[in-house]
């Protein structure tokens, strides 16, 4: 990408940006998926030509789903959400029929060990990782996720 004047991000090796005055094209690569964000349709045609010469590519149209994040557009803006990810997570932990709450966790709630089956540390950490990923679109769960993460670190 650098050979066609894209600058590789210092923060993310898979992110490339090309600026030309007011025109910007952003490309992010994940394994065999590429997402292109742009305000320059001419550059998109050049980019498709370049990528088509190097790889077998297929344009899928407007982005609707990427890495567990759903994308919708309206006159009010672009919205990201993880409804399917949440439903899969609830199914995985056997809570698909649970009722929603206005607050993710009561502020006074403290983690306590209970008698019974020991907690599978690896499984607990895996679920915390999923909550961390979910917090990309659900900032309201960050405090609860942090409290649970600290609990995982203690065990």
| Residue whose token pair is 């996720």 | 145
Residue 70 lies in a domain: no
The answer to whether the predicted template modeling score (pTM) of the entire model surpasses 0.85 is no
**Tens of pLDDT, residues 111-129:** 666 677 777 888 888 998 9
88/136 same-domain check = yes
Residue 110 lies in a domain: yes
First to last CA, the chain: 45
**Tens of pLDDT, residues 55-109:** 888 777 788 888 888 999 899 998 998 999 999 999 998 989 888 877 777 766 6
Cβ–Cβ under 8 Å, residues 149 and 141: no
Could you tell me the residue range of the domain that residue 14 belongs to? 2-61
Instruction: Look over the chain and give the mean of its residue pLDDT values, rounded to a whole number.
Output: 84
Given this model, what pLDDT does residue 35 score? 86
90/47 same-domain check = no
* Closest to 81 measured CA to CA, from 58, 98, 65, 59: 65
Domain count, the chain: 2
55/112 same-domain check = no
113/149 same-domain check = yes
Phi, psi (degrees; rounded to nearest 5) at 50: -60, -50
């Amino acid at each position: 990408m650098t050979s066609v004047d894209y600058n590789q991000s210092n923060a993310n090796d898979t992110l490339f940006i090309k600026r030309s005055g007011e025109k910007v094209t952003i490309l992010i690569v994940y394994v065999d998926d590429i997402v292109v964000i742009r305000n320059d349709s001419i550059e998109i045609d050049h980019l498709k030509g370049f990528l088509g010469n190097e790889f077998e590519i297929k344009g899928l149209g407007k982005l609707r789903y990427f890495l567990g994040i759903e994308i919708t557009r309206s006159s009010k803006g672009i919205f990201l959400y993880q409804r399917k990810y949440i439903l899969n997570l609830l199914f995985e932990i056997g809570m698909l029929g649970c009722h929603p709450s206005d607050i993710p966790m009561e502020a006074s709630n403290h983690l306590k060990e209970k008698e019974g089956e020991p907690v599978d540390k690896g499984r607990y950490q895996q679920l915390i990782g999923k909550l961390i990923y979910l917090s990309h679109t659900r900032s309201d769960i960050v405090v609860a996720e942090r409290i649970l993460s600290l609990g995982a670190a203690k065990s």
